[in-house]
Amino acid sequence: MSSVSRFGDWWSHAALGILLLTIAWWRGNKKWTRVFLSMLIALALAGVVTRVVKVGVGRARPLVQTETVWNGPSLSARFHAFPSGHTAASTAFFAVLFFANWRIGLACLPIPILIGFSRMYIAAHYLSDVVCAAILGALCAFLVAHFFLKEFRNPQSAIKN
């Protein structure tokens, strides 16, 4: 599970997204270039939002021995449990793919689920951290897909313009 958790880091998702973006751009496929770029934007957005919330909330990780679980704003990584950044980033990354092509996105859905489970298994997060992070990631993906993938969701409007 530690390996799965490491795969959930933002840099591995970013490396995959950049590789796919490069291949789509090199092949001249505008649709998939935009989809992969949107996946990277959603990944970055989810990362920024979760980081701000983590610092502001200051929830202790399950491994930390403390009397209070919620400590308020903190810069210590020991108090950055809520929400799970790994889960939010992975959900945002693959949810954009789901909004662009539901069949491929559905096939990739087990990846963020497995990452979220691995974060709980290694005692880095509580269930509420993972669930809220998945919701946050899905919202980030929805916003990015709404603004960047409009013409691919409604091909008739692109023909009229």
89: Cβ contacts below 8 Å, ≥ 6 apart: 8, 10, 13, 43, 46, 47, 50, 137
pLDDT of residue 157: 45
pLDDT of residue 154: 53
Q: What is the pTM of this model?
A: 0.81
Q: Is 26 a residue whose pLDDT tops 50?
A: yes
Show the tokens assigned to 95: 């949810």
Percent of the chain beyond pLDDT 90?
A: 44
Q: Residues in the chain, how many?
A: 161
How do residues 79-119 score in pLDDT, each as one tens digit?
667 888 889 999 999 999 999 988 998 999 999 999 999 88
Q: Is 158 a residue whose pLDDT tops 60?
A: no
How do residues 51-88 score in pLDDT, each as one tens digit?
888 878 777 777 766 555 555 565 656 566 788 888 99
Q: How confident is the model at residue 153 (pLDDT cuts 50, 70, 90)?
A: low
Q: What is the chain's alpha carbon radius of gyration, rounded to the nearest angstrom? A: 17
Provide the mean pLDDT of the chain.
83
Beta-bridged to residue 59, according to DSSP, are 70
Report the half-sphere exposure of 8 (CA within 13 A, side-chain side).
30
pLDDT of residue 97: 92
Residue type, 120: M
Domain ranges of the chain: 2-160
CA atoms 65, 70, 76, 81: torsion sign: positive
